[in-house]
Copies of this chain bind each other. A is one copy, B any other.
Amino acid sequence: MSEQMYTTKEAMLYSQRVAQLSKALWKAVEKDWQQWIKPYDLNINEHHILWISYHLKGASISDVAKFGVMHVSTAFNFSKKLEERGYLTFSKRNDDKRNTYVELTTDGVELILKMNENYHQTQHSILEGSLALKDLYGRFPDFLDVMAVIRNIYGEDFIDIFERSFQNFNYTLEDKTDINA
């Protein structure tokens, strides 16, 4: 039914508009992210794996892959490298023998906390580019339409993990870095 409700032209204009915007947005995010993690000799996937397993308090490789939007083999291979460097460990869980889980070691947790502390040592163009919106609306933008599209593409699971990790992130930052920049 819905498929009848747009013209081919409208669909092409819309999806190529999203393509251009999301490429530009991602390239800015990627640059910010790379600058932030550079001193720690990590690539984006490696940091993402650490971030996810920290905030989910341990995660299955398939959850890491799903939420990190990477192939399962990528998630597994980079996790192996992080294990070799002593930042995480692999384990099985009694209630779920089929999946392999990763969990941060003390060194891994320390690394994540140190990186959070040094977050504002590098430039974050996304942040600077959002200040005018913050000034105007009194809060940072919500990107609600992006959220809705992602929910439809990746499913409720993805959004659940997303919200769960940000709840934990919010909690771990409490009373620690809550100062004026």
Residues of A within 8 A of B (CB): 2-29, 32-33, 48, 51, 68-69, 116, 119-120, 124-135, 140-143, 145-154, 158, 162, 166, 169-170, 173-174, 176-181
Distance of A76 from chain B, by nearest CB (Å): 18
A131 contacts B3, CB within 8 Å?
yes
Contact partner of A145 among B143, B158, B169, CB < 8 A?
A: B143
Distance of A132 from chain B, by nearest CB (Å): 6
Which residue, of A23, A68, A134, A150, has the highest number of chain B Cβ atoms within 10 A? A23
Interfacial chain B residues near A176, Cβ < 8 Å: 9
State the CA gap A33–B170 with chains docked (Å).
35
B13 contacts A32, CB within 8 Å?
no
Given known contacts A26-B22, A173-B9, A181-B6, is B131 in contact with A148 (CB within 8 Å)?
no
State the CA gap A26–B30 with chains docked (Å).
11
State the CA gap A48–B24 with chains docked (Å).
12
A126 contacts B69, CB within 8 Å?
no
A15 contacts B129, CB within 8 Å?
no
State the CA gap A8–B178 with chains docked (Å).
6
A148 contacts B132, CB within 8 Å?
yes
Distance of A7 from chain B, by nearest CB (Å): 5
B153 contacts A28, CB within 8 Å?
yes
Interfacial chain B residues near A48, Cβ < 8 Å: 23
